Amino acid sequence: MGSSTLLELHFVLIPLMAPGHLLPMVDLARLLARRNVKVTIMTSPQNAIRVQPIIDREIQSGSSIAVQLFRFPNSEAGLPERCESLDTLPSMDLLVNFAKALWMLQDTVEQLFEELSPTPTCVIFDKYLPFVADIAKKLKVPAISFDGTNCFTLLCDHNIHNSKVYESVPKSEPVVVPGLPHRIVFKRSQLPQWFKDNRDQELDAFHEKMREAEEEAYGVIVNSFEELEAQYVTESKRVKGKKVWCIGPVSLSNKDDMDKAQRGKTDSNQEDDRYLKWLDSWPAKTVIYVCLGSLTRVTPAQLMELGLGLEATKRPFIWVLRESHRRDEMEKLLKEDGLEERVKARALIIRGWVPQVLILSHKAIGAFLTHCGWNSTLEGICNGLPLITFPRFSDQFYNEKVAVQLLEIGARLGVENAVHFGEDEDNYGIQVKREKVKEAIEKVMAEEDEESESIRERARNYAEKAHKAMEKDGSSYLNLSLLIEDIYKTTCDIRG
């Protein structure tokens, strides 16, 4: 197919309003646009602010990509003005309101679809927005589910749901996930929220709708690469009975420092240069980077235990703290303990957002202490970093298994219980003590230690594979080509 033919294709992408969903889908949109496909991203004004600079740069380079805005129904759903993303919710009590706002978007999005020119030939929707699949079906447009995780997670979720194995296992007993290439074991308390006891009926209904939309979708796009989890890619295709395209790691679409710095940036005054200059002052592979994601709400007491463990390593570190969650309480504990003052010669504690992809690519970073969100996990893998795992909820315990058990590039902090999104974390107490933090960090960073060096070597090898997958003729590059060709053929068939 020539470029003139590809321009007849029009892909519309609709991400969930949350940084961990928005950013990888925008990366995917840019990859598609670089193949001479017309791309439209649909989102709300406040979410567009996070990605508009990088979209503008893409347009300047010649890509056919645009952002189509829709009004987010804040007032109708009982949300504060400009609260258009999960990470901006001032209280988890508003989580139901946010879900309500998402469902209110259906008529608005459908009307925008009908007004788009040229007519969309493919819709890629976030799996948490299943109503978009209904719109695509009504308009007779192929709908593809974007799953921001990996095939291991897809398969675990599918097999646990179909087998109902968690219902027959006592709470105190481990759950062995059936039908996997490896023996994978979880505690009941580590499984995602939709597998817990006494589930909310509305939540159950929503997840059933998600599953139906995915089953009816033309296929599934996965932000992973075949060399990372070959057996799970093959098995996912078999059990799903549909097309599964691994097209990642999509974060590698950000090739230069400007792209990495602007990805998801919310404030033009943020101090990227200061962070980089500080990192420049340290030898290669010596600094620990610590970030627990945009949605994780860890209690100040647990954060202090984490900080004291970092201090005990006597290693340099960057620690990213959320700016909004119980900030006053956290600042009070830091001041009373004196931790920040004691470590100021070798640590940088940052309140708020940072350019994570840019920081992780710096030569000084030697390890990544992460909440195991899949975006962060992949970004660590792309930079050849060993991972120290601190999962919290949803798919994060699955991703911990990928890093620690399947790839053997990490060390667990030992979290035993998921704290589901919106739950009161104080009910769980301190799950990770400072001694375990120090122990896990040393396991991946110790000098002249055979096991530590093996972990680091495996991490470096997977980074090489990740980059090769995204290069021309790499597995993910070719899979994206197959996806585009597939939609072209399907569109021709539909139009006769």
435-481: pLDDT as tens digits: 999 999 999 999 989 999 999 999 999 999 999 999 999 999 999 99
Q: Is 124 in a helix, a strand, or coil?
A: strand
Taking residues 151-163, report their average pLDDT.
95
Q: What is the pLDDT of residue 200?
A: 67
Q: Can you read off the two tokens belonging to residue 71? A: 């009004």
Residue 319 φ then ψ, to 5°: -125, 115
The pLDDT-based confidence of 3 (bands split at 50, 70, 90) is very low
* Rounded Cα distance, 112 and 135, in Å: 11
* Rounded Cα distance, 146 and 126, in Å: 5
Q: What is the pLDDT of residue 270?
A: 59
Active site residues: 21, 126
Q: Can you read off the two tokens belonging to residue 392? A: 């919290």
Residue 449 φ then ψ, to 5°: -125, 125
For residue 357, is pLDDT > 90?
Answer: yes
**Ordered domains of the chain (ranges, CATH):** 3-253+468-495 (3.40.50.2000), 270-467 (3.40.50.2000)
Q: What is the pLDDT of residue 4?
A: 45
| Cβ 377 vs Cβ 402: under 8 Å | yes
The pLDDT-based confidence of 490 (bands split at 50, 70, 90) is confident
Nearest to 371 by CA among 288, 296, 456, 462: 296
Query: What whole-number percentage of the chain has pLDDT above 70?
Result: 95
Nearest to 358 by CA among 277, 247, 474, 259: 259
User: 35: part of which helix (H) or strand (E)?
Assistant: none
| Cβ 67 vs Cβ 54: under 8 Å | no
162-205: pLDDT as tens digits: 999 988 887 778 999 999 999 999 999 899 988 876 666 777 78
* Rounded Cα distance, 8 and 64, in Å: 11
For residue 422, is pLDDT > 80?
Answer: no
Nearest to 401 by CA among 420, 377, 366, 383: 377
CA-derived radius of gyration, the chain: 22
Q: Is 175 in a helix, a strand, or coil?
A: strand
67-115: pLDDT as tens digits: 999 999 999 999 999 899 998 888 878 888 998 999 899 999 999 999 9
Taking residues 298-322, report their average pLDDT.
95
Taking residues 398-422, report their average pLDDT.
93
Nearest to 147 by CA among 283, 247, 275, 31: 247
Q: Is 323 in a helix, a strand, or coil?
A: coil
Q: What is the pLDDT of residue 269?
A: 53
Measured distance between the N- and C-terminal CA atoms of the chain, rounded to whole angstroms: 18
Maximum average pLDDT range among 204-218, 297-311, 415-429, 480-494: 297-311
